[in-house]
Structure formats: C-alpha cells, structure tokens
C-alpha cells in the first residue's frame, strides 16, 4: 500500500511539473526563494487502548522547517523542504487477565524529521498576495519511545516500570498544501499554509504553518 501511495504521488508530481517545464517563453519575475516556517503539528498514531480503541491523534507538537523554491514560470514552482517536530505524546491503557487483573499504563512519545519535494501552482502575476496550491512526496523518519507502568493485582501493589528500546520508522507518503504568500517588501514575504499528509487509509498528519522568507 505504501508503494502504491508513493507511485501515485510521484506521478502527480511529474504531471504538475510537466506544464511548468514547457512554459519557458519568458523569464519569471522571481527565480527562487527561501523561507523558514513554524507550525502546529497534529499526528495520527495507533496505540493499544482498551477504552478509546486503537486510533488517536497527538497535537501537542510544534513543527519547524526551512524551504528552497525554484520558479519555472511566474505560476509554477518546485520546492524542497526540510523540517522536524518536537516531541508529541499519547497514552494508552491495557487490562489483562492472567489469573487476576493486571493494569498496564503505556506512554508513547513521537518525534519526526522529514524532507518534502513538491510542486506548487501560484495564482496571480506580480501581485502583493499570491494564493497557492501544491502537492508532492513527503519522506519522514519517525522515532518512537515507549514506557509501561505495570500495576499487578494485590498484594503486589507496587508498580513496575518498563522502558522499551527506541523504535524507528520510515514513511513515504503523498502530501497536499493550500496557502498564500503575501509580500511585505518587494522581496520579503509572509507565508502561511495548511499541509495534509495521507496514507492508504486516510489522513496521517495535519500541520498549520506560518513563516517568513525572501526571494531573488
């Protein structure tokens, strides 16, 4: 399923990029730009929980990143971005019955680092505000820490803490973005966007971002 998502995303990226490469009749007003962004990161993870099912979102994580863009025309731009998130946390509870009831309270901590390659279409020409839409491929390296607090049945009521080895996962997924770029000076701008990352079953990540940049 991940391979299918990657193939679809790559095909979409190439389809978006083809019109841009074909439109070379005139040089764009701006050739390239760089920007830094901060955002509020929301991630969906599946953790065992007897009370809330297995799916949940963690939303106490911040995102920070930097991007470099290259304009093929005034409307088409290829952008490469690198970024990382702060630690987010989910908790789960499991009840087991081996002879007598045992409660396990688990804490999961997630951090990500990523590189994203995408194509954007920027509306309007040489204006102070440019709405844009885009999409591409997101490559994510995720670190997961898990610790369990185990409460055995009486009379052994003292909890036992178990720290698991850190796990690492790699994800290749398509993303989409919708936002705007607003100029404060002839070359300095403010930008904001909503970024969505999906897998074969639905949304994996939602990030609301803002930042500042400069073009050349």
Domain at 185, CATH number: 2.40.160.20
Q: What is residue 44's predicted lDDT score, i.e. its pLDDT?
A: 92
38 vs 125, more confident: 38
Number of domains in the chain: 1
77 vs 152, more confident: 77
The mean per-residue pLDDT over the stretch 145-154 comes to 88
Q: What is residue 135's predicted lDDT score, i.e. its pLDDT?
A: 98
Does the residue 196 lie in any domain?
A: yes
Q: Which domain holds residue 111?
A: 2-19+29-215
Contact between 175 and 203 under an 8 Å Cβ cutoff? The reply is no
* Tens digit of each residue's pLDDT (9 = 90 or more) over 18-73: 443 333 446 788 899 999 999 999 999 888 877 766 668 998 899 999 999 999 99
* Tens digit of each residue's pLDDT (9 = 90 or more) over 102-122: 888 999 999 999 999 999 999
Does the residue 73 lie in any domain?
A: yes
Closest CA to 137 of 58, 81, 83, 193: 81
Q: What is residue 54's predicted lDDT score, i.e. its pLDDT?
A: 61
Does the residue 100 lie in any domain?
A: yes
pLDDT classification of 6: cutoffs 50, 70, 90: very low
Q: What is residue 2's predicted lDDT score, i.e. its pLDDT?
A: 45
Our CA dihedral for 202, 8, 124, 132, rounded to 10 degrees, sits at 30
Number of other CB atoms surrounding residue 55 within 10 Å: 12
Q: What is residue 148's predicted lDDT score, i.e. its pLDDT?
A: 94
Does the residue 188 lie in any domain?
A: yes
Is the pLDDT at 172 greater than 70, yes or no? yes
Q: What percent of the chain has pLDDT over 70?
A: 84
pLDDT classification of 151: cutoffs 50, 70, 90: confident
* Tens digit of each residue's pLDDT (9 = 90 or more) over 78-108: 999 999 999 999 998 888 876 677 888 999 9
202 vs 16, more confident: 202
Number of other CB atoms surrounding residue 33 within 10 Å: 20
Does the residue 24 lie in any domain?
A: no
CA atoms of 89 and 87, how far apart (whole Å): 7
Does the residue 89 lie in any domain?
A: yes
Contact between 175 and 147 under an 8 Å Cβ cutoff? The reply is no
Q: What is residue 119's predicted lDDT score, i.e. its pLDDT?
A: 98
Q: What is residue 9's predicted lDDT score, i.e. its pLDDT?
A: 46
Residue 81, class by beta-carbon neighbours within 10 Å (0-12 exposed, 13-18 middle, 19+ buried)? buried
Q: What is residue 53's predicted lDDT score, i.e. its pLDDT?
A: 63
What is the rounded average pLDDT for all residues in the chain?
Answer: 87
């Amino acid at each position: 399923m991940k391979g299918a998502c990657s193939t679809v995303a790559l095909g979409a990226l190439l389809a978006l990029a083809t019109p841009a490469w074909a439109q070379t009749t005139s040089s764009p007003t701006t050739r390239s730009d760089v920007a830094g962004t901060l955002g509020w990161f929301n991630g969906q993870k599946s953790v065992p929980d007897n009370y809330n099912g297995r799916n949940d979102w963690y939303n106490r994580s911040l995102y920070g990143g930097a991007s470099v863009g290259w304009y093929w025309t005034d409307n088409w731009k290829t952008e490469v971005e690198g970024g990382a998130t702060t630690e987010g946390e989910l908790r789960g509870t499991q009840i087991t019955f081996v002879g007598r009831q045992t409660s396990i309270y688990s804490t999961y901590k997630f951090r990500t680092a990523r590189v994203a390659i995408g194509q954007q279409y920027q509306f309007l020409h040489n204006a102070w505000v440019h709405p844009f839409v885009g999409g591409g491929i997101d490559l994510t390296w995720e670190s997961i820490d898990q610790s369990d607090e185990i409460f055995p049945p009486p009379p052994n009521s003292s909890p036992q803490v178990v720290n698991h080895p850190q796990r690492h996962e790699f994800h290749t997924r398509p993303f989409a973005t919708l936002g705007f770029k607003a100029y404060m000076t002839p070359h300095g701008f403010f930008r904001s966007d909503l970024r969505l990352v999906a897998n074969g079953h639905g949304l994996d990540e939602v990030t609301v971002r803002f930042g500042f940049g400069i073009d050349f």
